[in-house]
Chain A
């Protein structure tokens, strides 16, 4: 390069960075997953907290109740201690959000719906569970069949700790086969019904059956 000569390094830097950035729309996810796989555990939590109301519900163990009603022989109002006394189940699964992020190997403990609903004596006409969150107006549904899948539960522990406030304390729905918006947090009421009303995100265009990789345009 001679003293008076100039080169267009500015536009090359601009175009190069822009091109690498745009191409990452194709390879970004693969690169990120490879990085997460080798990163020291605990460095990346991966969770993003999505809420719809002004504040997150606050859990008070003394006054909290889980109500089970609708098409049942015996409506229930369960305390936190009573819930913890029910037979518990554990599973490890990946959590997938419909917006594209994933948290691998989350350890959940909770109650399977068969055990949870038994005392309420669901009627034969009941087909759908509607979960009402303490975070208004969040609501979503699962068919009774979906709720009986092997690793579906109402979870009260995550990674060995009681469910944290931002994860839905004290209980949330976990269904690893579906995107996270089906996993209602801060559940305070479960209603058994004959058919499903659209949930919070379903009213906004998302699929009712949110199978991972097989819904929402995938």
Chain B
């Protein structure tokens, strides 16, 4: 028997897969690394926190080694994971159709697996990851070899932190609090989402899922 929607009977909701294990791994590698880097970074950066916590050399090592671990883990996920699926996902993030463009202008057009806002967030997150990695590496190398020292590196690293903190708060709000989107948290943790939710918020994708 195939469960149908709106039949009135109490039945288990039907789930469809939104994120593969590889996609979830990429997300959670980023999430965990970001949180540790943010916490150690703020403790290094804010004078009041520095004074409260101290242990600067230890925090600095934790910050640097977490960054190295973050990049290594990403490489590992790409090498061991489902690369074809990742390429498809990147393609989805890249391509904007007319519905996406209109959605960004606040027209309620039907969306695919990712709405246009999620696509913009993905592009920004990827760019910030590159810029964090480059500026962080330059800060680290600059301490050892003055040829890598630029007066603006620390300014770039600071501004990335500030802007990504704002994006992160918005991301948490949409993932944990905002009623229309918070079900997506289930997707990024278990992989699957309710079909009825997907049909409401991501109809162009949900219709293709059998």
What residues of chain A have their CB less than 8 Å away from a CB belonging to chain B? 1-11, 13-18, 21-22, 24-29, 32, 45, 47-56, 98-101, 165-166, 204-205, 216-218
Contacts and interface: CB of A to CB of B under 8 A. Distances in A.
A49 B57 CA distance: 12
A208 to B, nearest CB: 14
A189 B144 CA distance: 29
Contacts of A21: 127-128, 130-131, 134-135, 156, 160
Contacts of A1: 97-98, 101
How many of chain B's residues touch chain A, expressed as a range?
35 or more
Interface of B: 45, 47, 50-51, 54-58, 93-101, 119-120, 122-124, 126-128, 130-131, 134-135, 138-139, 142-144, 146-147, 149-156, 159-160
Given A22-B134, A52-B56, A100-B149, A17 B127 contact: yes
Contact of B54 (A28, A45, A54, A99): A54
Contact of B123 (A14, A32, A165, A216): A14
B152 A25 contact: yes
Contacts of B123: 10-11, 13-14, 17
A51 B60 CA distance: 11
A52 B108 CA distance: 55
Nearest to A47: B47
Contacts of B151: 28-29, 100
B93 A27 contact: no
Contact of B57 (A28, A52, A99): A52
Contacts of A99: 139, 142-143, 149, 154
